[in-house]
Amino acid sequence: MSRSKAVAAGVGVLTATLATGALFAPAASATEHSSSAYAISASGLLKIDPLPSVGVSEGFDQKSVAEFSLPGGLFKLNALNAQAGKGFAKASIKDVSLNPGVLIHVDKPLLTASAITADCKDGKASSSLAKASIGGIKLDVAAAPNTTVGVPGLASVTLNKQTKNKNGSVTVTAIEVSVDGIQKLSLASATCATGGDGDGGTPTTEPTKPTKPTDKPTSPGKPSDDKGGDKGKDKPAGDKPDANGKAPTPTPVKAHLDVTG
């Protein structure tokens, strides 16, 4: 049997097992919310609705699942967490093990990690990995956005996958695994919009500029010619030269003189 047929057959068995009662309720569409997050989701032959899934336009929401696993040890995840608030979202998983060997007879696990995290805040996205490896190859703690790692003959893996959405929001998925184009698995995904929390955003109205004075200040009047004494009082007419330019008539000044002898 070819590898593709083996994958299809194995996944089909798991899907049938889940359909007996382990399928998860559909989550609300992320487009209904400004922020959303989930820890795990799968599409293709094996379908897993986002789990746990949160989405908000206002306020805050958080959900957790202690453990998630599938029959045969295909997936094993612990401490799945998703939280979202106005302008931010975060998803995380601990003790990740993805082992497709149960389907296609591969000795080594495809993916292992002690922790996977996706963060989104105010339209800025990032992800981080702790003690993570793919096919036995160690991965960097913080991969560049949309880093692709190929596992020959097995799967294609995208690390720190970032996507711009039509509504202006950003989605970051820490790890996305694609197997033969018939199965996709997303681990730790968060979506948020720019400026959602209102802190540090661009102001919508420019501050009012100070008004320039329209009236010029009144020029101060010329100082009086009087130097001390009684300002504003007219000098006696006798102290001024007459019209012909002759010296003014002296103004008598009364005074008291002491008499001697």
Domain of 41 in residue numbering reads as: 33-192
- Is residue 141 within 8 A of residue 133, CB to CB? The reply is no
Q: Does 104 reside within a domain? A: yes
Q: Does 212 reside within a domain? A: no
Give the separation between CA 135 and CA 236, rounded to whole angstroms.
Answer: 116
Q: What is the pLDDT along the chain (261 residues), one digit of tens a residue?
A: 444 444 443 433 333 333 323 333 333 444 456 899 999 999 998 899 999 999 998 899 999 999 999 877 788 999 999 999 999 999 999 999 988 654 555 567 789 999 999 999 999 999 999 999 987 889 999 999 999 988 777 788 999 999 999 988 999 999 999 987 788 999 999 999 876 443 333 333 344 455 455 555 555 555 544 444 444 444 444 455 556 655 566 555 555 545 444
Token digits for 28? 């609300």
Query: Looking at the 3D structure of the chain, how many domains does it have?
Result: 1
Token digits for 63? 């959900």
DSSP state of 77: E
The full length of the chain comes to: 261
Q: Does 210 reside within a domain? A: no
Q: Which amino acid is at 19?
A: A
- Is residue 238 within 8 A of residue 249, CB to CB? The reply is yes
Q: Does 61 reside within a domain? A: yes
Q: Closest Cα to residue 170, out of 195, 147, 201?
A: 195
Q: Does 6 reside within a domain? A: no
Q: Does 222 reside within a domain? A: no
Work out the angle at residue 27's Cα, subtended by the Cα atoms of residues 49 and 4, and round it to the nearest 5 degrees. Answer: 15
Q: Does 209 reside within a domain? A: no
This prediction's pTM: 0.64
Q: Closest Cα to residue 40, out of 24, 25, 28, 51?
A: 51
Q: Does 234 reside within a domain? A: no
Give the separation between CA 191 and CA 210, rounded to whole angstroms.
Answer: 41
CA-based R_g, the chain, Å: 43
- Is residue 156 within 8 A of residue 182, CB to CB? The reply is no
